[in-house]
Chain A
Amino acid sequence: MSAELIPDSPSGCEALRVSALSKSFGATRALDEVGIDVRPGEIHALMGQNGSGKSTLIKCLAGYHHPDHGAVAELDGTVFHLGHEVPDRLRFVHQDLGLVHELSAQDNLALRGGFATAFGGRVRWREQEAQTRQMLKRFDVDIDIHQPVGGLSPVERTVVAIAGALQGWSGDAGGVLVLDEPTAVLPHDEVERLFAVVREVRRAGTAVLYVSHRMDEIFELADRVTILRGGRLVGTYDISALTSGSLASLMSGEDVDPDYRASVDVEAESPVVLEVRNVSGRWLRGVDLQVRKGEILGIAGLSGAGTLELPYVLSGHGGRSIVTGDLRQPHKSVQWIPARDATKLDIPLVPADRQSEGVIAEFSVAENLTLSVLDRLSRLGTISKKQEAHVVRGWSDRLKIKSENFRSPISTLSGGNQQKVVLARCLAAEPEILILCEPTAGVDIGTRVAIYQRIAQLASDGLTVIVSSSDEGDLLAMCTRILVLRGGVVAAEMDGREVTKPVLVRAIEGD
């Protein structure tokens, strides 16, 4: 850790000031005497790895958790009872945004702020519409306020949520808006638009407490940053005093190289294990590609370029009615098969969204892990519990899954270990090719390197890996080759070990 980094000290006129905040869950101390000072009208980043206590801190501010005794909090100089009351000028946009997707922007805003009504509860729609436009005007977005917000782009939804959080703001300056991981799900091109919105909030004199995992955006956006580690305060720093290396070190407590690259060797003459010819779907417009054994092939691209769809098509889950094109595995058969029958190739996919598409929450660890290989564990349809335990033990040892009892629900595991169970499920089927979607979504930098190394190790053992990610860092860290999709076709192909980040980003954005 760099010794010359001296944390800022409080200046005495904070918008939000919290000190001596502790919170225990049973025997676990999630926050230990943490404090934070947000100055009026600044963008203040809150950073830390998973388990550092960021979320607990935000949840205490939002009144969701009651902190342990002794915490002191002030907003604009007024003391408030942290965890029990939330001052009017402390507003939140949580990660899930809290919007009703089926309702329009106008209705979503009115749900929070109330409808403009006349006698008998009749809604004065014209006035309501004018109010809605007024609220959205300052953010310079052109959205249809009558369309269900589910049809808006993610950044437009975020804007609606921010406008909703700020409505009824009394007075101009002062107060704090808390944004909890607003960019976690935004593709690169939309992050810039969100930044403009956040800066607009700051321009009006409102401070922003900005929680994020992404280091690059902190340098672009934030004025100061507070870092937590293991439930303790590391310090608050001026962003200009930090580099990405020193920030990573402060967060992880050890020296981390943000330019880490996993070493993978692919023999140039290794056989082609998958060939894709003219595949189209909802977003794809005729993709051709080849993958060789032992490669880690990265798929990059903006939202709507097909980066999210391609993995699902290759694994046979792309929607049979719209997928066209052909696939083949030339080392096995010269026959091309229609891409809509891709399930026949048995290429497993590790989804980005673990909760909705990865784990089966009601199932035990063992049941989750063996779901794809039940036939191998069964005789005449009856599962052998002994075989099952054997497979579970084997994969748990290999991937170091930490579980006290494999018959207990998977929800008793930490998120990272749940992800390993999903990976083990895919690997247990002994596939030749594995597809990973957003392998580091919501994962902090210390754990990322472990993921890169594990994937590199699998590739060295002969597995072919296809990685789709909206994080260029992921692709640069482990891919041997990167394909850039643009408008549903392969627009560029680059050697993953030679390409630099600016070159990749330019290729993705297409200028």
Chain B
Amino acid sequence: MGGNHSEEAGAQLGALATKKQVTRPSLLQALAVDKIGAVYIWIAIVIVFSFWAPETFPTAATAKQILNANAVTALAAMAIIIPLAAGVFDLSFAYTMTLSGVVVVKLILGGTSVMAAIVIAMLVAVGVGVVNAVIVVVAKIDAFIGTLATGSLILALVTMVTGGTSMSGAEMTGPFAKVGQAQVGGLTLPNVYVVVIAVVIWYLFEHTATGRRLYATGFNPDASRLAGVKVERLRFLSLVASATIAGFAGIVLSSTLGSGSPTAGVPYLLPAFAAAFLGATQLKNGRFNSGGTIIAVLLLGTGTTGLALAAAPAWSQSMFVGLVLIAALAVTGLQRRSTSSSRGSQSDVGTAPADHPEAGARSSAATTPQA
């Protein structure tokens, strides 16, 4: 079915291409709509709001406000793209944020030094990550359900620590306030954290063997395992990493709020996932990546801030987030389908799956059955 023809053509091209096959993507390709479509949408909404709210929107103050207000969302999104790249969900991260936030505040209010309180809160977060990893990787419970369950357990801990009420005190305006409120050129410190963490994750995903193996694990764990990738170990570490970053985000959030609230982290659950999935459609189509995630956070943050400044009704912000997410995923979904169907017509039968009475036994042995 065309296989013969295209293979012959491929042979000739292949012979020509062997000398210079590693071509670098050109600038034009890098700016293609399917790579950074969200940037164009972002520019479009900036223009729209500049006309809609000309007094308030196109100002430096608004730009700073958008960045400052969304830095914690970006941190939260950075936390989850690591396990997502490895093919596991971490729904508990928002509760981990809350937990580390209330732990650090409780300790500081109790007289612990700021540094020690931060270290202890981070250790608690790492501990949560280890528990998640044991449940998902060792006990082989599906990550979606498993981290939903641990989220509930963490919430119980939060209530134990706080008694269900928000904690604050004079200590909150001391040195601890600097963690989230100190400014560098009009921007708060959390923006710096985002850039540092995003660069580290970018380097990890793009340039290291570990990053390559994380992606492989997320895309096809069975093939990865056969290729010698330590799938379970990577998933374990990815969950510990997400809890650690989430714990840090929670400390930053408490510092920003000046209090330890038992509900502080939860509002970040949906925006972080929205940004992570929208981000995966950007720059590296189909791969969770830090650059795309930041673009997504900015797009969503600009839209919601613009709607608020333009005095649009309150419901319009949630509607905006939902619509952008569906549109982005639908567009990339359509693209994939059209490329895969044209591909499907090019190849004849393909493989015979190893459908064998033993196959079930083998796959249940060779793969990780996730509840």
Is chain B a partner of chain A in the same complex?
Answer: yes
Interface residues of A (CB under 8 A from B): 25-26, 28-31, 50-56, 65, 95-96, 150, 153-154, 181, 184-185, 187, 213, 230-231, 281-283, 303-304, 306-309, 312, 315, 317-319, 322, 343, 346, 348-349, 351-363, 366-367, 371-372, 374-375, 377-378, 381-383, 385, 389, 392-393, 396-397, 401-407, 411-412, 414-417, 425, 429, 437-438, 441-442, 470
Q: Which of B1-38 contact A (CB under 8 A)?
A: 1-7, 10-11, 13-14, 17-18, 21-23, 25
- A480 and B208 CA atoms in complex are apart in Å by 42
Please state if B17 and A403 are interface contacts (CB–CB under 8 Å): yes
Please state if A51 and B13 are interface contacts (CB–CB under 8 Å): no
Please state if A303 and B345 are interface contacts (CB–CB under 8 Å): no
Please state if A381 and B224 are interface contacts (CB–CB under 8 Å): no
Please state if B354 and A28 are interface contacts (CB–CB under 8 Å): no
**Is B55 in the interface zone, CB < 8 Å from A?**
no
Closest to B360 in A: A150
Residues of A within 8 A of B215 (CB): 362-363
Task: Kindly identify which residue among B21, B22, B366 contacts A312, using a CB–CB cutoff of 8 Å.
Answer: B366
- A53 and B348 CA atoms in complex are apart in Å by 7
Task: Kindly identify which residue among A26, A355, A375 contacts B350, using a CB–CB cutoff of 8 Å.
Answer: A355
Please state if B208 and A415 are interface contacts (CB–CB under 8 Å): no
Given contacts A28-B5, A367-B212, whether A303 and B286 have CB atoms under 8 Å apart is: no
**Is B316 in the interface zone, CB < 8 Å from A?**
no
Residues of B within 8 A of A382 (CB): 207-209
**Is B361 in the interface zone, CB < 8 Å from A?**
yes
Please state if A317 and B226 are interface contacts (CB–CB under 8 Å): yes
- A343 and B230 CA atoms in complex are apart in Å by 11
Please state if A405 and B17 are interface contacts (CB–CB under 8 Å): yes
**Is B216 in the interface zone, CB < 8 Å from A?**
yes
Q: How far is the CB of B358 from chain A (nearest CB, A)?
A: 4
Please state if A308 and B362 are interface contacts (CB–CB under 8 Å): yes
Please state if B356 and A377 are interface contacts (CB–CB under 8 Å): no
Task: Kindly identify which residue among B4, B11, B225 contacts A317, using a CB–CB cutoff of 8 Å.
Answer: B225
Please state if A360 and B352 are interface contacts (CB–CB under 8 Å): no
Please state if B351 and A441 are interface contacts (CB–CB under 8 Å): yes
Closest to A228 in B: B1
Please state if A351 and B346 are interface contacts (CB–CB under 8 Å): no
Residues of B within 8 A of A417 (CB): 10
- A375 and B365 CA atoms in complex are apart in Å by 27
A-B residue pairs in contact (CB < 8 Å), sample of 27: A30-B345, A51-B2, A51-B348, A53-B1, A231-B4, A282-B362, A307-B358, A317-B365, A319-B362, A351-B223, A352-B351, A353-B351, A357-B222, A357-B226, A360-B220, A362-B215, A366-B22, A371-B212, A381-B208, A383-B208, A389-B22, A397-B18, A403-B10, A405-B23, A414-B6, A415-B347, A438-B352
Given contacts A397-B18, A415-B351, whether A303 and B2 have CB atoms under 8 Å apart is: no
Closest to A319 in B: B365
- A131 and B159 CA atoms in complex are apart in Å by 58
Q: How far is the CB of A407 from chain B (nearest CB, A)?
A: 6
Q: Which of B330-348 contact A (CB under 8 A)?
A: 340, 342-343, 345-348
Task: Kindly identify which residue among B18, B207, B226, B351 contacts A393, using a CB–CB cutoff of 8 Å.
Answer: B18
- A177 and B7 CA atoms in complex are apart in Å by 32
Q: Which 7 residue pairs spanning A and B have beta carbons closest together?
A: A319-B365, A51-B3, A374-B209, A28-B2, A402-B14, A185-B355, A184-B352
Please state if B21 and A25 are interface contacts (CB–CB under 8 Å): no
Q: How far is the CB of B189 from chain A (nearest CB, A)?
A: 29
Please state if B213 and A374 are interface contacts (CB–CB under 8 Å): yes
Q: How far is the CB of B137 from chain A (nearest CB, A)?
A: 14
Please state if A402 and B11 are interface contacts (CB–CB under 8 Å): yes
- A56 and B287 CA atoms in complex are apart in Å by 33
**Is B228 in the interface zone, CB < 8 Å from A?**
yes
Task: Kindly identify which residue among A26, A54, A312 contacts B1, using a CB–CB cutoff of 8 Å.
Answer: A54
Given A352-B352, A357-B226, A411-B340; 20 other pairs, CB 8 A cutoff: A25-B2, A28-B346, A52-B348, A54-B1, A54-B349, A56-B1, A184-B349, A184-B352, A185-B353, A231-B1, A281-B365, A282-B361, A309-B358, A354-B350, A359-B223, A371-B213, A371-B229, A375-B209, A378-B208, A442-B349
- A317 and B7 CA atoms in complex are apart in Å by 34
Q: How far is the CB of A34 from chain B (nearest CB, A)?
A: 11
Given contacts A352-B354, A360-B220, A442-B350, whether A404 and B14 have CB atoms under 8 Å apart is: yes
Please state if A362 and B17 are interface contacts (CB–CB under 8 Å): no
Q: How far is the CB of B227 from chain A (nearest CB, A)?
A: 5
Residues of B within 8 A of A25 (CB): 2, 342, 345-346
Please state if A65 and B345 are interface contacts (CB–CB under 8 Å): yes
Task: Kindly identify which residue among B224, B228, B229, B364 contacts A348, using a CB–CB cutoff of 8 Å.
Answer: B228
Residues of A within 8 A of B343 (CB): 411-412
Task: Kindly identify which residue among A306, A308, A396, A415 contacts B354, using a CB–CB cutoff of 8 Å.
Answer: A308
Please state if A414 and B10 are interface contacts (CB–CB under 8 Å): yes
Residues of A within 8 A of B355 (CB): 154, 185
**Is B152 in the interface zone, CB < 8 Å from A?**
no
Residues of B within 8 A of A416 (CB): 7
Closest to A441 in B: B352
- A425 and B222 CA atoms in complex are apart in Å by 15
Residues of B within 8 A of A358 (CB): 223, 226
Please state if B13 and A282 are interface contacts (CB–CB under 8 Å): no
Task: Kindly identify which residue among B5, B10, B348 contacts A50, using a CB–CB cutoff of 8 Å.
Answer: B348
Q: Which of B194-241 contact A (CB under 8 A)?
A: 207-210, 212-213, 215-216, 219-220, 222-229
**Is B359 in the interface zone, CB < 8 Å from A?**
yes
Please state if B346 and A363 are interface contacts (CB–CB under 8 Å): no
**Is B185 in the interface zone, CB < 8 Å from A?**
no
Given contacts A25-B342, A362-B219, A404-B14, whether A371 and B207 have CB atoms under 8 Å apart is: no
Please state if B348 and A55 are interface contacts (CB–CB under 8 Å): yes
Closest to B228 in A: A372
Please state if A360 and B223 are interface contacts (CB–CB under 8 Å): yes
Please state if A393 and B365 are interface contacts (CB–CB under 8 Å): no
Q: How far is the CB of A360 from chain B (nearest CB, A)?
A: 5
**Is B111 in the interface zone, CB < 8 Å from A?**
no
Please state if A354 and B351 are interface contacts (CB–CB under 8 Å): yes
- A358 and B224 CA atoms in complex are apart in Å by 8
Residues of A within 8 A of B313 (CB): none
Closest to B203 in A: A382
Given contacts A185-B353, A403-B21, whether A360 and B348 have CB atoms under 8 Å apart is: no
Residues of B within 8 A of A352 (CB): 351-354
Indicate the member of A317, A377, A389, A397 with the most B CB atoms within 10 Å. A317
Please state if A309 and B351 are interface contacts (CB–CB under 8 Å): no
Q: How far is the CB of A218 from chain B (nearest CB, A)?
A: 16
Please state if B364 and A187 are interface contacts (CB–CB under 8 Å): no
Q: How far is the CB of A457 from chain B (nearest CB, A)?
A: 20
Residues of A within 8 A of B10 (CB): 402-404, 414, 417
Q: How far is the CB of B204 from chain A (nearest CB, A)?
A: 9
- A414 and B216 CA atoms in complex are apart in Å by 21
Residues of B within 8 A of A348 (CB): 226-228
Please state if A153 and B209 are interface contacts (CB–CB under 8 Å): no
Residues of A within 8 A of B350 (CB): 354-355, 415, 442
Please state if A393 and B21 are interface contacts (CB–CB under 8 Å): yes
